[in-house]
Amino acid sequence: MLSLAFPAIDPIAIAIGPIAIRWYALAYIAGLLLGWRYVVHYCSKTPNIMSKRDIDDLLFWATLGVILGGRTGYILFYNLDYYLANPANILKVWQGGMAFHGGFMGVIIAIILFARKRGISILAVLDAAAVAAPIGLFFGRIANFINGELFGRATDAPWGMVFPNGGPEPRHPSQLYEAALEGAILFVVLFILARSPFVRHRPGIMGGTFVAGYGISRIIVEFFRQPDAQLGFLTFGATMGQLLSIPMVLVGLGCIFYALKTDPIKTRQLPKEEQTA
């Protein structure tokens, strides 16, 4: 079968003696930092929902949510039996094992706690985080591709690739599909929505669009992605990724419906030095 050559990119971007910095780690860092700057820009175009200090602090809360939630989600949803038998490996994050749905739940918990602590609308904070999330997803999926992990099912499509750990059969480069759908396309959709004052002033529309949009994108891509070996296909031939994404679609649509039924947000009166710029 015809197939494309898999680009053999070293997963280690920089190595200094025993210290190795992987592309996967750089993807997380790039996603968080670029997302943070984009949130600052987004908040400068909306009512003063969050101050500069709020946005800086939200980055810290979101980072904790991503790391702790992503690891916990992977353990609970994808490999619980293994970690129950090998609890010492739970903290070995450098060996891999992060799940988006777990990271998503971690960030949601962080947003709720952060918003209540600062007296800010939870949905408004969700909107701000949502506009930046596709940036991190894009870089993360590119890093998955570089690592040759989370590859797709066998295919005879001319763009199929033979992955180092995927056997001799050409497979869908599903990581690139996810980078496009969950990352680039979802970013463009949210960017267009963010240009509308009607949308920006109704907390929940942006966040709901991201949550539902990701769920739909993930459900679609899972038809091309190879299921996790330890799980395989589950109820009605669905994958774990699809089952976890269905509630996201419903919750996202619920957020949008709620936002459309509520009054526009009122501007918070922030000191001039704390206003976003």
Q: Residues annotated as binding site?
A: 141
Distance CA 78, CA 71 (A): 10
Residues in CB range of 72: below 8 A, 6 or more apart: 102, 106
Query: Which helix (DSSP H) or strand (DSSP E) does residue 247 occupy?
Result: helix 240-261
DSSP 32: H
Closest to 186 measured CA to CA, from 203, 204, 202, 208: 208
- Whether the CB-CB separation of 134 and 187 falls below 8 Å is answered with yes
Distance CA 174, CA 177 (A): 5
* One-letter amino acid for residue 252 of the chain: G
Residue 71's φ and ψ, nearest 5 degrees, are -70, -45
Tokens at residue 39, please?
């949130």
Task: Compute and round to an integer the Cα radius of gyration of the chain.
Answer: 20
Distance CA 113, CA 107 (A): 10
